[in-house]
Amino acid sequence: MNEVESLYQDIIVDHVKHPRRQGLRDGATVESHQLNPTCGDEITLQLVLDGDRIVDAAWTGRGCMVSQSSASILAEQLPGLTAAEAGERIESFRASMRSRGEIPVDEDLLGDAVALEGAAKFVARVKCAMLAWVAAEDALAKR
Ligand code: ZN
């Protein structure tokens, strides 16, 4: 493992050990539950919206480290974004994840999600990494 890979691993482990915004709350505006049966991952994501702006995000789930760290990474960065800004991040992350490593994760836009870049090289892992992001997209579509 090279230095960058071990740094990325540290970010993932940190999010798994100290998940951000975990635990569902009352008063969510929209919610989405997503399953990844091939791995056994499950994510429920809640958003509180004020008009077009996400003011709070919360999630719960179970499954592999990739899916759970990805949910924490995403939930941490959603509050404060407009639906359009969140959509832009979801699309950017999806493009990288589907590129099999051809398109690097945009760290300026996606922050800690850069740690999930390695998942793009493994088809089975892409679904794990995308699960929370699909939940966010689905939740926003319910506005
Ligand atoms: Zn998984």
Question: What CATH number did the domain enclosing 17 receive?
Answer: 3.90.1010.10
Provide the pLDDT for residue 3. 78
Type and span of the H or E element at 95: helix 83-97
Provide the pLDDT for residue 5. 82
Q: What's phi and psi for 51, nearest 5 deg?
A: 65, -120
Ramachandran area for residue 27 (φ above 0: left; ψ -120 to 50: alpha; else beta):
left
**How far does residue 129's CA lie from ligand 1's centre (Å)?**
7
- The answer to whether the beta carbons of residues 38 and 123 sit under 8 Å apart is no
Residues, CB-to-ion distance under 5 Å, ligand 1: 39, 41, 63-64, 67, 128
Query: Domain range spanning residue 131?
Result: 3-141
**Can you tell me the mean pLDDT for 78-93?**
98
Provide the pLDDT for residue 7. 84
**Can you tell me the mean pLDDT for 77-91?**
98
Type and span of the H or E element at 43: strand 41-50
Q: Is the pLDDT assigned to residue 140 strictly greater than 80? A: yes
**Can you tell me the mean pLDDT for 130-136?**
98
The residue ranking higher by pLDDT, 93 or 124, is 93
Mean pLDDT of the chain, nearest integer: 96
Q: Is the pLDDT assigned to residue 58 strictly greater than 80? A: yes
**How far does residue 98's CA lie from ligand 1's centre (Å)?**
16
Q: Is the pLDDT assigned to residue 4 strictly greater than 80? A: no
**How far does residue 37's CA lie from ligand 1's centre (Å)?**
9
**How far does residue 56's CA lie from ligand 1's centre (Å)?**
25
Which residues lie across from 49 on neighbouring strands? 54
**How far does residue 39's CA lie from ligand 1's centre (Å)?**
5
**How many domains is the chain partitioned into structurally?**
1
Instruction: Identify the band that residue 6 occupies on the pLDDT scale cut at 50, 70 and 90.
Output: confident
Placement of tokens 């990474």 in the chain? 73
Look up the pTM and report it.
Answer: 0.96
Judging by DSSP bridges, how do beta strands 30-36 and 53-62 pair with one another? Answer: unpaired
Task: Report the number of secondary-structure helices (H) and strands (E) in the chain.
Answer: 5, 3
**Can you tell me the mean pLDDT for 58-78?**
98
Estimate the crossing angle of helix 65-77 against helix 3-17, to 10 degrees: 80
